[in-house]
Amino acid sequence: MSIPQRVDEQALGLRLDRFQIETPSWGYADTGTRFGKFLQDAAARTIDEKLADAAEVHRYTGCCPTVAVHVLWDFPPGTEPEALAARAAQLGIRIGSINPNVFQDQCYKFGSLANRDPEIRRRAVQHILDSIEIGRAVGSRLLSLWFADGTNYPGQASIRQRKQWFHEGLRAVHDALPGDMRMLIEYKPFEPAFYHTDIADWGMACAFARHAGPQAKVLVDTGHHLPGCNIEHIVAFLIDEDMLGGFHFNDRKYADDDLTMGSIDPYQLFRILYEITAAEVQLGHDLDIAYMVDQSHNLKPKIEAMIQTVMTAQEHLAKTLLVDHAALARARACDDLVQAEQILKDAYQTDVRPLLADYRRARKLPADPLQAFRESGYAARVARERGAGKPRDGSSYA
């Protein structure tokens, strides 16, 4: 379908200008599953290489000015946060959300903020407080929290007691936030805890955020839901409660598959973004939502997968901006279910790629960022430089 004549392409372009997507440092490195890694010669080995790759994504898309960092993985001993921020600035990007790690160390085997040992709980809180200070130093306004805490067997621990410990820890973290920093609380139904997860769904995350304080919001990872879950319903509910703080964009077939966004269910992505733009139309302003990518590109080339994701996000946001809200209101007013659904499907089925190509040309960006990157030779060059030090015999590489 072609672009409807009534569409204000200038307004649509301005909304796309404001749609900024953060890419994750870990998305540029070699990653894998619990069974091992498949290495890529071009994958980044250091934080400097991760920043360089993130800058390439921003160079070709124009909408990824920040990169999320992981405190333990990106700040090895001796790393000065201010120096890292300066290196990012030299590349034309900024440090974005700060992601603490309270799941990797051996002491967290039975939990972090919900651990029965008060010393381990204090250690976890202190690590997050230290991460806040890193955020201050690099100019970040986002603290992104995900916890692996939970249990694997009935009777292993008191679920109510663990909930209370989480309340205490998150409140202590919130009280240490700078005035301009938000705390995003992520949830996950399972893994690595398979009996119960301490923050298992959006309602629990919302309750913890409300208890922690006004600077805490919910982070929705689109992969962290069980099959059949109506994610757009969750998004709409959180918007109405003023509790939607951000997204981790990816896609899933089963649960936390961390596939590239829109690769499995693109219509779901449209429906999620529609709830956002519909609320913005009703409210008359953009929602303050942090859009972030969190995918595991085990097989796809790292930078290409990231650009592909960003282009998919732009396409689907543009499609939601084509929805005829006045016609939709008329259909709803007379309970015309068929027409109401068709209005959404008409917008979704519209080919917005020519519009986006014109949009990018007007901003001196490649009309096709993915193809332009492929033709740049960057991936082949860094593969030669980085691949030399990686094993070729299938052995593990850390």
Mean pLDDT of 43-57: 97
Counting Cβ atoms within 10 Å, is residue 89 exposed (0-12), middle (13-18) or buried (19+)?
middle
- Reduced to 3 states (helix: H, G, I; strand: E, B; else coil), residue 144 is strand
Task: State the chain's mean pLDDT as an integer.
Answer: 95
pLDDT computed for residue 35 by the predictor: 82
Q: Are strands 196-197 and 150-151 parallel, antiparallel or unpaired?
A: antiparallel
Question: b/e for 349-371, b at 16 or more Cβ within 10 A?
Answer: ebebeebbeebbeeeebbebbbe
Per-residue pLDDT for 100 more than 90?
A: yes
For residues 96 and 57, give the distance between their C-alpha atoms in angstroms, rounded to a whole number. Answer: 15
Over residues 80-89, the mean pLDDT reads: 97
387 part of a folded domain: no
Q: What percent of the chain has pLDDT over 90?
A: 91
Instruction: Give residue 111's domain range.
Output: 11-323
Any domain includes 342: no
Q: Are 176 and 132 in contact (CB under 8 A)?
A: yes
pLDDT over 90 at 7, yes or no:
no
Average pLDDT rounded to a whole number, residues 195-223:
98
Average pLDDT over residues 173-189: 98
Asked if the model's pLDDT at residue 398 lies above 50, the reply is no
pLDDT of residue 392: 64
Residue 293 falls within a domain, yes or no? yes
Over residues 307-317, the mean pLDDT reads: 98
Number of Cβ within 10 Å of residue 81's Cβ equals: 21
* Residue 211, token pair as written in the block: 């208890």
Mean pLDDT within 319-344 = 98
SS3 content of the chain, % helix, strand, coil (to 5): 50, 15, 40
Strands 21-24 and 290-293: parallel
In this prediction, what percent of the chain has a pLDDT beyond 70? 98
Beta pairing partners, 247:
220, 291
pLDDT of 177 reads 98
User: Is 1 contained in some domain?
Assistant: no
The CATH number covering residue 149 comes to 3.20.20.150
Q: What is the mean pLDDT of residues 42-50?
A: 97
Residues 334 and 287 sit within 8 Å (Cβ to Cβ): no
Number of structural domains in the chain? 1
What is the average pLDDT across 143-165?
98
Q: For residue 33, what pLDDT band results from cuts at 50, 70 and 90?
A: confident
Q: What digits encode the pLDDT tens for the residues 108-128?
A: 999 999 999 999 999 999 999
Identify whether the C-beta of residue 293 lies closer than 8 Å to the C-beta of residue 309. yes
Is residue 383 in some structural domain? Answer: no
Average pLDDT over residues 257-282: 97
pLDDT-derived band of residue 63, with 50, 70 and 90 as boundaries? very high
Say what the pLDDT of residue 296 is: 87
Q: How far apart are CA 137 and CA 98, in angstroms?
A: 11
pLDDT in tens, 216-241: 999 999 999 999 999 999 999 999 99
Q: CA–CA separation, 149 vs 164, rounded Å? A: 13
**Inside any domain, residue 110:** yes
397, pLDDT greater than 50: no
- Residues linked to residue 44 through DSSP beta bridges, in sequence order: 29
> What does the alpha-carbon distance between residue 381 and residue 389 come to, in Å, rounded to a whole number?
14
Side chain identity at residue 218, one-letter code = V
Element (H, E) at 275: helix 266-283
Q: Which residues contact 118 (CB under 8 A, 6 or more apart)?
A: none
Query: How many residues in the chain?
Result: 398
Tokens read off for 353: 């790629």
CB 344 within 8 A of CB 321: no
Residue 164 is assigned to a structural domain of this protein: yes
CB contact at 8 A, 173 and 130: no
On whether residue 369 sits in a domain, the answer given is no
Pick from 219, 125, 140: which is nearest to 181 by CA? 140
Going by pLDDT thresholds of 50, 70 and 90, the confidence category of residue 148 is very high
What count of other Cβ atoms lies within 10 Å of the Cβ of residue 338? 8
